[in-house]
Amino acid sequence: MATNTSKKLITLEEISRQKKDVYRQIKEQKQLIQLTATDLFAPVKAANKVELFMNSVNSGIAVVDGVMTGMKVMRRVRSFFRRKK
């Protein structure tokens, strides 16, 4: 019951070539991820004064919202530790 299975011999050169290909693919993906992240987190460029003003207003609202959320969280945390005593 001999089965004829032909196995492909893998040489060190083949492994080295595959390794280089994988490193190249990783490098390309890393550059793509960096480019995408830069596009996502880049500040918005205003085309005119109205857009510049609206961007400033939106940033201010985001800061106020963050401060209010932080204050609410701190109140909850403080009340949680006061009840434990």
pTM score, whole prediction: 0.47
Summarize pLDDT for 43-60 with one digit per residue, the tens.
778 788 898 899 889 999
Do 38 and 51 lie in one domain? The reply is: no
Provide the pLDDT for residue 2: 58
**55 and 70 fall within a common domain:** yes
Domain assignment present for 2: no
Residue 6: inside a domain: no
Q: Per the structure, how many domains does the chain have?
A: 2
55: Cβ contacts below 8 Å, ≥ 6 apart: 44, 46
Residue 4 lies in a domain: no
Which residue segment(s) compose the domain that 21 sits in? Answer: 13-42
pLDDT digits (tens, 9 = 90+) for 10-69: 899 999 999 999 999 999 999 999 999 998 888 778 788 898 899 889 999 999 999 999
